[in-house]
A and B are shown apart, each in its own frame.
Chain A
Amino acid sequence: MTDQISNIAEKREMTINMGPQHPSTHGVLRLELDLDGEVIKNTRPNIGYLHRCFEKYAEEMDDYSKVIPYTDRMDYVSAMNQEHGYVIAVERMLEIEVPERVEYIRVIMAEMQRIASHLLGIGAFGLDLGAFTPFLYCFIEREKILDIFEKTSGARLLYNYYAIGGMIKDVHPDFKKDTNEFVKTFRPKIKELNDLLSGNKIFIKRTANIGVLPEKVALNYGASGPVLRGSGVEWDLRKNDPYSIYDRFDFEIPIGKGEMGTLGDCWDRYIVRVREMEQSLRIIEQALEGMPDEGDVTEGIPKRIRPKEGELYARSETPRGELGYYIISDKSASPFRVKARAPSFVHLGLLPAISKGALIADMVAIVGSIDIVLGEVDR
């Protein structure tokens, strides 16, 4: 025992585990930290605690549409976006067009889900740093979105609402009214959030200049979504590689500017999410206006789903970044291979690069700011 202690004292280095049950690791993530005093020398993320063989399951299913409920469970915080990515991939393989109304419903659902996911991300980020109040306020708003989803699809978290070629069922008759009301009440809440958290001096002190991710490193690691945009790169698949009907809407891509400190720090990544919610509101408003009132959303669902032999990679922008599905078809009814490119997994790989030299207390802020969901990392 004394030997060990003297060893540690000599080397002045110590390895400790953070997680897997640490509440602020957003799931079951274990981080091995090599510490010198309080300074982090090295970080080794250990993953796999939530592995559920998504890809293997997808190959086992005897129908392409049976995979959709499993995609929900990848990133359970933004299930609608996960489904969206998968259905557009299969639709491109089948070369089918979906009706106008379906596209509008999909965009509205995806953007609402983006807001809900960012609210959770922001709230949990604040909670990690000791701000309990914004977390609860964010949840009030998120709950409203989930209520709208529940009315329409029947579920609150894992919807299975998108179908290949359409939607499982039509939206609730009150859908337009509810969503309009939500958009109206949510705008002032963003200002409230800014008052409460973004401008808070303590919060800024804990996030500015912490976990700086330079643009070049972000690009080299293949980061995407708010993490990449926080480093000042204007890259959003909704604009740069429009899928669905995103090219019809007018919105901006918020990027980090290093307002409170260095470009690409935790605060920049955070504020990109807040500003993205405003842009999502703009998209929702435009989509609600353009959405056709009539139309059967289930008519386009094909009876038999058998894509031609071949392979395809389709990507979409989820709240966490670029989600890609790489599907190989062998002409049978079940996919030969489904590979998911999960943004959280890539971002987790960034951790060692951006946490070097940080204090151990800041590790929590860094993990919170890249907003990972372990369901997606481990799949």
Chain B
Amino acid sequence: MLYVFKEGWSTFKSIFTGMGVTIRHFFSPSVTEKYPYEKIELPKGARAKLHVNIDDCIGCNLCARACPVNCIDIETVKATDDVDLGKTSTGNPKRFWLTRFDIDMAKCMYCDLCVHPCPTNCIYMVPEYEYSEVDRSNLVYHFSNLKPEMVAEVKEKAEQEAEQKKRERQEMMRKKAEAAKKKKEEQEKKQAEAKKSSNKNDNDKPSTPGKKDS
């Protein structure tokens, strides 16, 4: 009998202590945010979405190499000698056309590893989180600001230049090779002459049959 009474009392007590806690919470200010209507501001540097300031990008590919999931896809074309792409705001000279700079945010795991190696600090996270899509391919963000015609043009130009450079190089190589050949021939000639002269000396002795025949 006493046991039942004791048990009952401790149950009653523990439940009411708990109730006291909930009542205290009931009168304390609410912590819920009514999300779509109320938005809290994300702190600076929150990792929500990648952004590339394409004007400052030098196309060094360091960010793509740092990414563990390979979701950054960069294609660069070397600028031809007649154009100057200028400098970035940090003073690094730009040498490449960025014909493609795609980031697949569906693959990205928000690890921030691509942000740190960038020499011009032009790839960074922005606190923008409402960008859900129905179609996954819409999550591939294209940062390159070159128009398709432009891309074709630069590519062609670069190709031409590369072709020309290649030709020049080939020409140079050929010239070099020719020069080398000439040199070699001369050297050989000299050697042969030297040999001849030495042979002549030898020829005094009539032991070499070949010489006799000639």
Chain B residue with the shortest CB-CB distance to A174: B43
Chain B residue with the shortest CB-CB distance to A147: B43
In the complex, which residues of chain B have a beta carbon less than 8 angstroms from the beta carbon of A140? 31
Pairwise interchain contact B112-A168, C-beta atoms closer than 8 A = yes
Q: B68: which of A66, A143, A192 is its contact (CB, 8 Å)?
A: A66
State how many angstroms separate the Cβ of B14 from the closest Cβ of chain A.
5
Q: Is A155 interfacial (CB-CB < 8 Å)? A: yes
In the complex, which residues of chain A have a beta carbon less than 8 angstroms from the beta carbon of B109? 69, 158
Q: B110: which of A158, A168, A202 is its contact (CB, 8 Å)?
A: A158
In the complex, which residues of chain B have a beta carbon less than 8 angstroms from the beta carbon of A37? none
- A155 to B116 alpha-carbon distance, docked (Å): 15
Q: B111: which of A160, A195, A196 is its contact (CB, 8 Å)?
A: A160
B 39-62 contacts with A by CB, 8 A: 42-43, 45-47
Pairwise interchain contact A69-B113, C-beta atoms closer than 8 A = yes
Instruction: Give the total number of A-B pairs whose CB atoms are below 8 A apart.
Output: 62
Pairwise interchain contact B43-A151, C-beta atoms closer than 8 A = yes
Interface residue range, chain B = 20 to 34
A interface footprint on B122-134 (CB within 8 Å = 1, 0 otherwise): 0001000000000
In the complex, which residues of chain A have a beta carbon less than 8 angstroms from the beta carbon of B45? 154
With A137-B25, A192-B21, A196-B18 already in contact, the answer to whether A69 and B111 are too (CB < 8 A) is: yes
Pairwise interchain contact B15-A133, C-beta atoms closer than 8 A = no
A interface footprint on B2-30 (CB within 8 Å = 1, 0 otherwise): 00000100110011011011100100000
Chain B residue with the shortest CB-CB distance to A205: B11
With A65-B113, A133-B22, A195-B20 already in contact, the answer to whether A154 and B125 are too (CB < 8 A) is: yes
With A69-B111, A154-B112 already in contact, the answer to whether A195 and B21 are too (CB < 8 A) is: yes
Q: Is A150 interfacial (CB-CB < 8 Å)? A: yes
With A192-B21, A201-B10 already in contact, the answer to whether A168 and B116 are too (CB < 8 A) is: yes
State how many angstroms separate the Cβ of B78 from the closest Cβ of chain A.
25
State how many angstroms separate the Cβ of B205 from the closest Cβ of chain A.
65
- A155 to B112 alpha-carbon distance, docked (Å): 9
Pairwise interchain contact A150-B113, C-beta atoms closer than 8 A = no
Pairwise interchain contact B47-A155, C-beta atoms closer than 8 A = yes
- A257 to B18 alpha-carbon distance, docked (Å): 24
Pairwise interchain contact A154-B47, C-beta atoms closer than 8 A = yes
State how many angstroms separate the Cβ of B201 from the closest Cβ of chain A.
61
With A150-B43, A201-B14 already in contact, the answer to whether A66 and B22 are too (CB < 8 A) is: no
Residue with the greatest number of chain B CB neighbours at <10 A, chosen from A137, A151, A155, A197: A155
- A349 to B15 alpha-carbon distance, docked (Å): 36
Pairwise interchain contact B68-A155, C-beta atoms closer than 8 A = no
A 141-157 contacts with B by CB, 8 A: 143, 150-151, 154-155
Q: Is A61 interfacial (CB-CB < 8 Å)? A: yes
A interface footprint on B73-113 (CB within 8 Å = 1, 0 otherwise): 00000000000000000000000000000000000011111
- A272 to B28 alpha-carbon distance, docked (Å): 29
Q: Is A200 interfacial (CB-CB < 8 Å)? A: yes
State how many angstroms separate the Cβ of B62 from the closest Cβ of chain A.
12
State how many angstroms separate the Cβ of B98 from the closest Cβ of chain A.
24
Q: Is A270 interfacial (CB-CB < 8 Å)? A: no
Pairwise interchain contact A201-B21, C-beta atoms closer than 8 A = no
Pairwise interchain contact A195-B17, C-beta atoms closer than 8 A = yes
Pairwise interchain contact A200-B14, C-beta atoms closer than 8 A = yes
Q: Is A54 interfacial (CB-CB < 8 Å)? A: no
Can you spell out 15 A-B residue pairs with CB atoms less than 8 angstroms apart?
Answer: A65-B113, A66-B68, A150-B42, A154-B46, A158-B109, A158-B110, A160-B113, A168-B116, A172-B43, A192-B21, A195-B18, A195-B20, A196-B22, A199-B17, A200-B15
Using a CB–CB cutoff of 8 Å, the interface residues on chain A facing chain B are 61, 63, 65-66, 68-70, 133, 137, 140, 143, 150-151, 154-155, 158, 160, 168, 172, 192, 195-197, 199-202
Using a CB–CB cutoff of 8 Å, the interface residues on chain B facing chain A are 7, 10-11, 14-15, 17-18, 20-22, 25, 31, 42-43, 45-47, 66, 68, 109-113, 116, 125
